[in-house]
Amino acid sequence: MSATDIERLQQEHERWEKEIVALVTARWPEREGPFKNTSGVEIKRLYTPADVQRLDYLDDLGFPGSYPFARGVHPTGYRGRYWTRRQVAGYHTAVETNQRLRYLTEHGQTGLNVVFDMPTHFGLDSDDPRATGEVGKEGVAIDTLRDMEDLFEGIDLGQVSASLITGGTVLFSMYLALADKRGVPYENLRGTLQNDMLLFMHSCNIFVTPIEGMLRLLDDVVEFCVKRVPKWWPLNIAGYNNREAGASAVQEIGFSLASAIAYIESFLKRGLQIDDIAPRISFFLSAHNDFFEEIAKYRAMRRMWAKLMKERFGAESPFSMALRFHTQTAGSTLTAEQPYNNIVRTTIQALAAVLGGTNSLHTNSFDEAYSLPTEEAAQIALRTQQIIAEESGVTNTIDPLGGSYFVEALTNELEKRAWDLIEEIDRRGGMVKACKDGWVHRQKNDFVRTYFNSIRSGERAVVGVNKYRTDQRQKIPVFELDPAYEKKQVDRLNETRRSRDNSKVGVALERLRDALAGGENSMEATIEAVKAYASIGEIANVHKQVFGVQREPEVNFAMFR
């Protein structure tokens, strides 16, 4: 629109407000505000072309599959193929998790997504006293290659896409060792490794070694994949965990991209090239409650990534500039009160992810405020995706909300705020330093305190919690964890230790120690160690001997005061 057209539009807008809206609201007042999304962006009553008058279609939106990728990374969107349905699974031992993976695959899941228990994340064997009570509780317990063999029993590694929600080198090395045992070339392996080391420091509080050691292991994995495993994504930056730990939508964007900047700078120092590494980086994002905010978040983040790669790092390949992301509906929004409401929440969140152009999706089960999902609840969550894909019609065109005055204006606003956040992190010396200083923790804590206080005050409604409450408790089937599986896992580990060649394990661990201390890529040595059936704990101890033990930063984690 011309400047004259915009001026006339604004005049007509003012007339409409005074002559029509004022007349109606005098008789039927609008509900009490504030009208803000979760990031605190004030939402206007109406959006018009005046709100996006500086939007240049080719420079700011472009076509799907083309720079700046705001409208998606695939030229045909979901008309070519649907997003990958990648439900998370992991509990008890590898045998039980294998059964759940097969169950989901039989019901239409198109990608595997495995979560590991806390002892595994912390590099603790299942018989470590610090692991007591946690084995197989929040994910599957993995101690040695034998468990990885059971986890993927009957699953063709050359045909499946597997996501391993973990960091470091050990579990990925087990997956590669399993491929070697089965004769599957590394070139045929497809999947993702989370490996977001800064996330473990500022959101998950998972400390094995100081951050320098963790970044070194990340560099080793990325370099190895660039050279040897061409279809594997060795780094998946978890904005989702940022959000679950209290971040706003803007912080989810800003902290995720700031982490990517820190990682890329480290990879470049290793001697890797930007167009070799950028296409191997993906993101893991949340789908939260505010429908349009989430859609705008995905679109803004794609555009920002394209600009970062092109302008800051000088990438030339369009594959480097195309941001790809997996989405999970927001676990923190699930309520124990009126749990069947969670099906509706998950559906809305999943729809936002789809309209925002997600590349793969996990939908939470309605019972996860109580326990791990039952098979029935997991099936409902998967069916939610299938109904959106095949019944709703939203996949028939690409970026159906593109061009909406509201969506485009909100996309611009979220992008502006996220750039401001990244600039602040740059001023503070980068994401690594901001994490070490506790600044990232404090920013999230400040936001989450405000957010939950708005729920406590009733300003922000949560149906069934602070609004439309009932005294009646809804009884639902709950998945029961069997504590006997901890002993079963420990017995299995001890049996492996008795049957393996312990002298071979010792030699392999010494070889790994030399590789780490000598500065060479540690992946080959780690693969040989796991092939000797060295355990998670034994390998983690080598990491600690070389890099030291990380101490939690002195940060006040209290959300409320």
3-state secondary structure string across 298-328: HHHHHHHHHHHHHHHCCCCCHHHHCCCEEEE
Per-residue pLDDT reduced to its tens digit, 33-51: 889 999 999 999 999 999 9
Domains and CATH numbers, the chain: 194-468 (3.20.20.240)
The answer to whether the pTM exceeds 0.85 is yes
Bridge partners of residue 329, in order along the sequence: 287
Structure tokens at 443: 């920013």
More confident residue, 553 or 44: 44
Question: 231 phi and psi, to 5 degrees?
Answer: -100, 5
Rounded to whole angstroms, the Cα distance separating 354 from 347 reads 11
Count Cβ atoms within 10 A of the Cβ of residue 18 and give its class: 0-12 exposed, 13-18 middle, 19 or more buried.
exposed
Mean pLDDT of 201-211: 76
Q: What is the pLDDT of residue 479?
A: 81
Per-residue pLDDT reduced to its tens digit, 395-450: 999 999 999 999 999 999 999 999 999 999 999 999 999 998 889 989 998 998 99
Structure tokens at 120: 């595994």
Rounded to whole angstroms, the Cα distance separating 270 from 257 reads 20
Give the three-state DSSP class for 530: helix
Mean pLDDT of 478-493: 88
Structure tokens at 523: 């992946």
Per-residue pLDDT reduced to its tens digit, 294-345: 999 999 999 999 999 999 999 999 999 999 999 999 999 999 999 999 999 9
Listed residue (420, 523, 430) closest to 211, CA to CA: 430
Q: What is the pLDDT of residue 167?
A: 83
Per-residue pLDDT reduced to its tens digit, 214-264: 999 999 999 999 999 999 999 999 999 999 988 999 999 999 999 999 999
Q: What is the pLDDT of residue 557?
A: 30
Buried b (16+ CB within 10 A) or exposed e, 379-400: bbbbebbeebbeeeeebeebbe
Taking only Cα atoms into account, the Rg of the chain, rounded to an integer number of angstroms, comes to 24
Contacts 24+ apart (CB under 8 A), 382-390: 382/85, 382/87, 382/104, 382/107, 382/108, 382/109, 384/343, 384/346, 384/347, 384/350, 385/83, 385/85, 385/350, 385/361, 386/85, 386/108, 388/347, 388/350, 388/351, 388/354, 389/78, 389/82, 389/83, 389/354
The confidence band for 113, taking pLDDT boundaries of 50, 70 and 90, is confident
Listed residue (381, 409, 239, 202) closest to 324, CA to CA: 239
Question: 114 phi and psi, to 5 degrees?
Answer: -110, 130
Per-residue pLDDT reduced to its tens digit, 491-521: 999 999 999 999 999 999 999 999 999 999 9
Res. 206: pLDDT tops 80: no
Average pLDDT, the chain: 92
**Number of H-type helices and E-type strands within the chain:** 22, 10
